[in-house]
Amino acid sequence: MTDTVIGAVVDLLTAAGIAAGREYAGQAGEAFGAPAVRVGVKKSTLRSAGCGDYLGVDSAGGTGTELYGCRLELTLGFDVFAPDARSGEQCWEAVCAALQNAPAGLKIRALSLGGAGYDPATERVLCRGEAECMAYLIRTAPEDGGAFTDFILRGVLTK
C-alpha cells in the first residue's frame, strides 16, 4: 500500500521536472549533479473504513464491481541531495509546489524541512523534509474470490 503512494508521489515530482526516485533503491552512493529527491515512508498507520472496508458497487461500464477501501495515515520522508544548501532549499520549495497538485486521494496535512548538512556518502548537501499525509486507497474484489493484490490511490488513473 505504501508503495502505491510512493510511486504516485515520485511520478508527481518527476512530472514537475524534479529528479525524484524511491528511497533505498540503490542510489546511496550515486553521484548527483543537479538537486535530486529520494522519497520514502517514515511512518504509516492503516485505518479501516468500517463495515469490512466495503464502499459499495461501482456500476460504471455495467460490470457491478464491488469496491473496498481504507485510509492510510503516513509520514513521507524526502531526502533532498544538492550541491549546496541554497539549491537544496530551492528544490524543497519545488517539491512543496508540486505536492499542491497531489491526486485527490492524497491529502497533504503538513510539510516541514529540517536543517541541511553535508553527506559524505554522496558528497552533497542533504536536506531532510517530511510530509504528513492522508491517503485514500481503493481496491476491487477479485473475480476469482482470491486475495486482494492491487491498491489504487483514489484520484489516480491506472495505466
pTM of the predicted structure, to 2 decimals: 0.77
Q: Which amino acid is at 123?
A: E
pLDDT tens digits along 68-82: 677 889 999 999 999
DSSP string, 82-124: ESSHHHHHHHHHHHHHHHTT--TTEEEEEEEEEEEEEETTTTE
Q: Which residue has the higher pLDDT, 142 or 11?
A: 11
pLDDT tens digits along 108-121: 999 999 888 998 98
For domain 2-153, is the CATH number 3.30.2000.10?
yes
At residue 91 the predicted structure's pLDDT band, cuts being 50, 70 and 90, is very high
At residue 158 the predicted structure's pLDDT band, cuts being 50, 70 and 90, is very low
